[in-house]
Structure 1
């Protein structure tokens, strides 16, 4: 299992809508997340900085292939077209990232 932390901004005007849609995520999107070996997925909001922190655990054996499978899914693509206009990627993110990946520096079970 590999733990992932990611960070992205969100427009202040979009917070209520972002919370609303994530309170009722489409079943096909949730199924694809699970099918792509992602478990224990959470998104946290930090105001007033308006940052979203995502955490998930990857339990598969080929992260790149599973992420490609997710990105090719029509329902997931449609979900992302709803979510992405609300998000504000960090300027410091690595090229090709939408959510900025974070380094885990401590963990305790």
Structure 2
């Protein structure tokens, strides 16, 4: 199992909408995430900075990378683009974080 942490940013006036969209996450997307080895996926919001911290456990880096090209993921990115910082392809602007401590 590989632990991944990353940060993204939601627009300041879109905190509630971001949370609402995740409360109503599409079952097809969750199924695809599982197929691509994702488990124990969480996203946290710092309301003061609008920064999001994501954490996910994956089985395999190569399998995880393939998730981004799935049709359902591309659709989700387009759906989320109005509420958060994104790249030209609608993917979230995300920065991977280096793990420095873990206690089991």
Give the TM interval when normalised to the shorter protein.
0.7 to 0.9
Given that 2:40 and 2:57 are in contact with CA atoms closer than 8 Å, whether structure 1 keeps it comes out as: yes
Structure 1 residue ranges, 4+ long, deviating more than 3 angstroms after superposition: none
Given that 1:28 and 1:76 are in contact with CA atoms closer than 8 Å, whether structure 2 keeps it comes out as: no
Aligned length: 100
Tell me the distance in 1 between the aligned counterparts of 2:13 and 2:71. Answer: 27
TM-score by length of 1: 0.83
SS in 2 for 1:6: strand
Tell me the distance in 2 between the aligned counterparts of 1:66 and 1:46. Answer: 26
Equivalent of residue 101 in structure 2, options 83, 93, 106: 106
Alignment RMSD, CA only?
A: 1.8
- The residue that corresponds to 1:81 in the other structure is 78
How far off is 1:85 after superposition? 3.0
For structure 1, which segment, 24-33 or 76-85, has the greater mean C-alpha deviation from structure 2 after superposition?
A: 76-85
